[in-house]
Chain A
Amino acid sequence: MIRYLLRRLFTMTVALWLIITITFAIAHSIPGGPFASEKKLPEAVKKNLEERYHLNDPLWKQYTDYLKNILHGDLGPSFKYEHQTVNSIIKSNFPVSATLGSLSICFSLVVGMLAGVISALRQNRWQDYLAMVLATLSFSVPSFILSGLLMYVFAYQLGWLPPAMWGTWQQAILPTLALSALPTAFIARLMRSSMLEVLQQDYLKTAKAKGLSEYAVIIRHAIRNAILPVVTYIGPLIATVLTGSFVVESIFAVPGLGRWFVQSVSNRDYTVILGVTVFYSAFLMLMNFLVDIAYSWIDPRIKLTDSKEV
Chain B
Amino acid sequence: MSRKKKASLLLTALLSVFLVAGCGGGDKQSGEKSNAKEQIIRYNVCAEPETLDPAKATGLPEGTILAQMFDGLTRYNNKQEITPALAESWTISDDGLNYTFKLRDAKWNNGDPVTANDFVYSWLRALDPNTASEYAYQLFYIKGAEEFNSGKGSKEQVAVKAVDEKTLQVTLAAPAPQFLGLTAFQTLYPINPKVDQASPKWTTEVDKYVSNGPFKIVSWEHNQKIVMEKNPTYWDTNSVKLDKLEIYLIENTDTGFTMFQSGQIDIQDQVPVQEMASLKDSKDLKISPDVSVYFYRFNVTKKPMDNPKVRKALTLAIDRQSIVENVTKQGQKPAFAFVPFGFTDADGKDFRQNGGDFFKEDVTEAKKLLAEAGYPEGKGFPKLTLTYNNDQTHQKVAEAIQAMWKKNLGIDITLENVEWQIKLNKEDTLDFELVRAGWSPDYLDPMSFVDMFVTNGGNNDTGWGNKEYDALVKQANATGDPKVRMEAMHKAEKILMEELPVMPIFFYTNPNLIKPNLKDVIVPSFGLYADFKTAYVE
Contacts and interface: CB of A to CB of B under 8 A. Distances in A.
B186 interface: no
Contacts of B91: none
B458 A40 contact: yes
Interface in A266-310: 266, 268, 287, 290-291, 293-294, 297-298, 300
The 9 closest A-B pairs by CB, nearest first: A32-B421, A102-B18, A44-B150, A99-B22, A40-B458, A83-B204, A31-B425, A82-B51, A255-B223
A251 B13 CA distance: 30
A88 to B, nearest CB: 9
B484 interface: no
Interface in A9-61: 30-33, 35-45, 47-49, 51-53
A163 B421 contact: no
Interface in B227-274: 250-252, 254-255, 258-259, 261-262, 264
Given A83-B51, A166-B224, A171-B30, A250 B149 contact: no
Given A95-B21, A99-B18, A105-B18, A164 B255 contact: yes
Contact of A102 (B19, B28, B254): B19
A163 B262 contact: yes
A99 B17 CA distance: 10
B25 interface: yes
28 contacts: A37-B58, A42-B140, A42-B150, A45-B136, A48-B131, A52-B132, A95-B21, A95-B22, A95-B25, A98-B21, A99-B23, A99-B25, A151-B255, A164-B250, A164-B264, A165-B225, A166-B224, A224-B3, A224-B4, A227-B7, A231-B7, A234-B14, A255-B223, A266-B420, A266-B421, A293-B10, A294-B7, A298-B6
B200 interface: no
A172 interface: yes
Interface centre among B13, B26, B225, B254 (most CB of A within 10 A): B26
Interface in A119-133: none
Contacts of A45: 132-134, 136-137, 149
A301 B24 CA distance: 40
Interface of B: 3-4, 6-7, 10-11, 13-15, 17-19, 21-31, 48, 50-53, 56, 58, 129-134, 136-137, 140, 146, 149-151, 203-204, 221-225, 250-252, 254-255, 258-259, 261-262, 264, 419-422, 424-425, 428, 437-439, 442, 458-459
Interface centre among A38, A42, A156, A255 (most CB of B within 10 A): A38
Nearest to B30: A167
B132 A51 contact: yes
A236 interface: no
Given A155-B262, A297-B6, A32 B30 contact: no
Contacts, number: 204
A94 interface: yes
Given A83-B51, A250-B251, A294-B7, 12 more contacts: A31-B425, A44-B146, A44-B149, A81-B51, A83-B203, A95-B25, A98-B22, A98-B25, A163-B258, A171-B30, A287-B17, A290-B13
Nearest to A99: B22
B527 to A, nearest CB: 13
A186 interface: no
Contact of A168 (B29, B51, B203, B250): B29
Contacts of B130: 48, 52
Interface string A85-112: 0000000111110110110011001000
A159 B425 contact: no
Interface residues of A, number: 75
A102 B251 contact: no
A298 B261 CA distance: 50
Contacts of A290: 10, 13-14, 17
B292 to A, nearest CB: 11
